[in-house]
Amino acid sequence: MGSISEFIDEVVSDKLEDDVVIEWLKKIFADGLNDAQTIELTKSMRDSGEKLEWPAEWANLVVDKHSTGGVGDKVSIPLAPALAACGLKVPMISGRGLGHTGGTLDKLESIPEFRVDLSVAELSQQIEKIGVAMVGQTNDLVPADRRLYALRDVTGTIASIPLITSSIVSKKAAEGLTALVIDVKFGRAAFMVERAEATKLARSMSAVANALGIQTTSILSDMNSPLGCAVGNALEIVESVETLCGRGPLDLEELVCVQGGVLLHSAGIATDENHGAVMIHDSLNDGSAFNKFLEMVEYQGGNADDFLTDATLYTALGLLDSNLNTTEIFAEISGNICDIDAMIIADICLNLGTGRNSLGGEIDHRVGIILEKQIGELIEIGDHWATIYHSNELDEEKIKSIQSSLRTTNDNVEIESRIVEMIR
């Protein structure tokens, strides 16, 4: 076999049989790659297809974020318009739900007529006009990843740090970014359960993306309990709108402000990351982030009038449909809430229909769970603490299961930041 870049050329030109590519993937999975090889692989993948190009005067302004995936993780939806409201250019390319984790595209598609399949020309035009677009991967960007990822998926070779790094960073590099923030989640509902493994991945992604000329910060954040109060596609749009209007849950708002602050500083718009975080916070409170979001909705085929009031929004998202049921869950224990198990909540939500059981399967955008109480709050037996939105009958098992996700203590519960480390 020749160099890594020659191999990637052959992967894309279909000269290689699947068996040969699989053997190569298995070797990397088993032996790993050193830093220089991971950088070479990532560059070759980036160069395997079309690349986005931006006007020279935006040299410092084009940014994006990536999350390794979580439960209730809707950070991108308020973050992208808030960044654009602060003057950055945000061609955000997101994914669909993977396993038990939700996907930004699925959430956005809860909005009637919202299009995530913009062509490269449409995406570029929208960024020129309003500074933000939230779309899916186009067919022409990083075709090498499409083939490699599909083969990794069926050969148990996903969980490899050099392969994950090259897959994620090559796609971001093809967007022509100046700066990138990566939210690397760890904990029971993250793909990397152990903090040490997540740290290795964060270091690898930061090092490779920085070597490719993208100013990159990886933020290590806790994914043991759901982020915010809403889990489920349409319900997460409602919570994103709340956040865009300065009324979001504090853990979600913290991640939006900190990640936005990092990017505003990297782009040279904010004097430091704290200043950047305050700029994002202001944009959530002065209406500018929400107005930018509404502009984006209109540009991508949705209707801004759906967002006029809670009633119009709930109606547009189907949350008032007569065939959608709500069941309130009441506490069977009391004390200060110290834990809500995100993996249990994710499994119930998947079962309700928030995610896919098979490739290309249908999802029900309306179903999900609202947590009416959060970690740190006092709860008494009989208090209403969760609401389940469901379209099928709820069995006793699901109700038992949701009760088992809640843990309380008689001690005081300190609310800790979800962010444990930043790696550049």
Instruction: Annotate 261-322 with three-state secondary structure.
Output: HHHHHHCCCCCCHHHHHHHHHHHHHCCHHHHHHHHHHHHCCCCHHHHCCHHHHHHHCCCCCC
Q: In whole angstroms, how close is the CB of 64 to ligand URA at the nearest point?
A: 13
Residue in 43, 46, 65, 171 annotated catalytic: 171
Interacting positions 124-153 with ligand URA (CB under 6 A) = 149
Residue 66 among the catalytic residues: yes
Please list the residues that pair with 83 across neighbouring strands.
none
Both tokens of 327, joined, read 């069941």
164 binds ligand URA (CB under 6 A): yes
Closest Cα to residue 187, out of 357, 351, 73, 358?
73
Closest Cα to residue 14, out of 41, 54, 48, 42?
48
Residue 424 among the catalytic residues: no
Mark the segment that binds ligand URA (CB under 6 A) among 162-170, 332-340, 348-356, 380-388: 162-170
Task: Indicate the residue type of 254.
Answer: E
Q: In whole angstroms, how close is the CB of 163 to ligand URA at the nearest point?
A: 6
Nearer to ligand URA among residue 164 and residue 212 (C-beta): 164
CA atoms within 13 A on the CB side of 249: 26
Please list the residues that pair with 370 across neighbouring strands.
230, 387
Nearer to ligand URA among residue 86 and residue 168 (C-beta): 168
| Among 80, 84, 92, 168, contact with ligand URA (rule: CB under 6 A) | 168
Mark the segment that binds ligand URA (CB under 6 A) among 47-55, 81-89, 164-172, 195-203: 164-172
Please give the Cα distance from 57 to 281 (Å, whole number): 26
Residue 167 among the catalytic residues: yes
167 binds ligand URA (CB under 6 A): yes
Mark the segment that binds ligand URA (CB under 6 A) among 161-169, 217-225, 246-254, 361-369: 161-169
Closest Cα to residue 21, out of 31, 32, 30, 10?
10
Residue 145 among the catalytic residues: yes
Q: In whole angstroms, how close is the CB of 309 to ligand URA at the nearest point?
A: 37
Residue 171 among the catalytic residues: yes
Please give the Cα distance from 65 to 259 (Å, whole number): 8
Q: In whole angstroms, how close is the CB of 158 to ligand URA at the nearest point?
A: 6
Catalytic positions: 66, 145, 152, 167, 171
Give residues in contact with ligand URA (CB under 6 A).
Answer: 149, 158, 163-164, 167-168
